[in-house]
Every structure is written in C-alpha cells, then in structure tokens.
Homo-oligomer: A and B are copies of this chain.
Amino acid sequence: MQQDIAILGLGRMGSAMAKNLLDAGFALTVWNRSSDATRSLAAAGARVAKTPGEAATPGGIVVTMLADDAVLTETTAGEHGFGRRLGPGGLHIAMETIAPATSRHLADWHREHGNQYVAAPVFGRPAVAQAGKLWVCMSGEVAAKRRAEPVLAAVCQRHEDFGTDPVSANVVKLVGNFMIASLIEVMGEGYTLAEKHGLSREAVASFFVSTLFDAPVFRSYSPTIAADRHDEAAFLLRLGLKDLRLILGAAERAEMPMPLASLLRDRLLSAMAKGRGDYDWTAIAHGAREDAGLA
C-alpha cells in the first residue's frame, strides 16, 4: 500500500523531487504558494492542498523545499502552519538550505509538539534533481532518519548520515555551498589569467576539468565560466547572496573569519549593484574578468 506524503514548495527543485516521489509510488499531496506549479503534478496524480495545514496528515510525513528561513518557519510553526496539524508521530523532513540556527529552532519546536524532525538539505542543480540523482546530507534522531530514508531514496543517489544533531546536516550544506561558490571564483581568476596571456579560456578549462579537477562540480560549472555566459540561471545569483549570508552568519556565530567567503560576498554584492541578481550565480566569476578590464 502507498504511503501518504506531502511536499511543500514547488520551485524547480521541489517540483522535480515531487515528480520523483510520484514515480516512486508515494501517495503525494502538494502545496505551493502560487498555484501554477501544482498543475502538472495534479495531472500526474498528486492531490493539491490549499494550505500547508491541509497538506499535512496527522502522524504523516511532510517534506519542505521552501524559499528561505522565514517562509519555512512561518509555514511550519506559524499560526496556519502544518506543524500543529502534523501532531505526534508526524515527521518533518526539511530539505532547504537554511541557517543552522533556524534548524535548531525548528527541531526544538517539533520536539515540544511531539513531532519528528530530520534536516536533509540537498546538493545538485535542477537537472540533477529531475534525474533523481541528488546528494543528501541528513541528520536528526535515529528513528526519524530511518523513517525518512525511503523518501530520500526516491530523490537522491546517495544520502549521508551526519549524526543525531539536526543542525549538522545544515552545516554540511553550507560548507558545500561555500566550496562551490569558491570554485567559481577560483575558475574566474584562473581562466582570466590565461585569457590575459592570450590563451583560450575554453582550452585551459577543458584541460583542467579532464585532469586534476575532474569532479562533478567542475564539469558542471566550468563551461559556463569559460564562456563567461551567465544569463541562463540554474541558480539565481540573488539566492547565492542569500546563501553567503547564511554561511557568513554561521561563521560569525561560531566566531571564525572566512576571508574567502567575504570575497565571494563582495563579488555578489557588486553583481547585485550592477543589476545581475537574476543571472546565474556563476556570474561571480565575471568579476575577475571585469576587474581585468576585459568586460
């Protein structure tokens, strides 16, 4: 028999995950702030809820993939949130990129309300989500994680367990996003050094990506950075700035400087000031070209 599950938040990532959950045979309820995103999923068999609370089943499972910390908190623990309806035995799997402090707050809130909570943020661009090939890092109580596993298995190629502290998975996610954003800057400066000496950015990029730097993240980002074309956004630059804010905020709470993260933030702010908020966040790399007088 099919298990009931709800997913809230149907952006590009959430929609792709919803489709995979349907394909995996879950009886799926979906909810989204705007209704456009729900249509194709309804056509594919999903029930459409009118409110977050209506989406949740007492004792059921709710997956969230919402816009940011504030929306997630309101949707979960707000007056009309799903959290109160979820009730004892219910499970919340939070897959957004959020501040560790927000995750801590939600974990505490759920515990007080008798709910289970698993933090399970994901790595992968929308195309990867569609293919069900995300990487998930998860943390939370053992029983909660066990219950979450079949759900996660439907959307990812691998899920890594980072222990029982629900905050840990969120920290790993921020570390990863910091590392990805950093690589954009690394390629930006590196390829521009080559270009300023008369070499082809593409030739240099192609060499490195097939040798020392032959990793998914390089293969995925390098061609865009070599071409310095950033107008087709897989991940909006303004969301990248939000993530850097989370990263630097987490570092500040933990009392540590991250000079490279500060540099990335400065790149993003300059791009925002120049009206590039809706570009792909690989436009971070454009800063190095621009500073070199090439753009």
Contacts and interface: CB of A to CB of B under 8 A. Distances in A.
B255 A292 contact: yes
A183 interface: yes
Interface residues of A, number: 75
Contact of A178 (B190, B213, B251): B190
B176 A208 contact: yes
A250 interface: yes
A42 interface: no
Given A207-B160, A255-B292, A288-B256, A186 B179 contact: yes
Interface stretch (A48-56, A105-113, A141-149, A193-201): A193-201
A207 to B, nearest CB: 5
A212 interface: yes
A124 B213 CA distance: 12
B196 A179 contact: no
A189 interface: yes
Interface string A224-262: 000000000000000000000101001110111111111
Interface of A: 100, 123, 135, 137, 158, 160, 162-163, 165, 167-168, 171-172, 174-176, 178-180, 182-183, 185-187, 189-194, 196-199, 203-204, 207-208, 211-218, 245, 247, 250-252, 254-263, 265-267, 269-270, 272-275, 288, 291-294
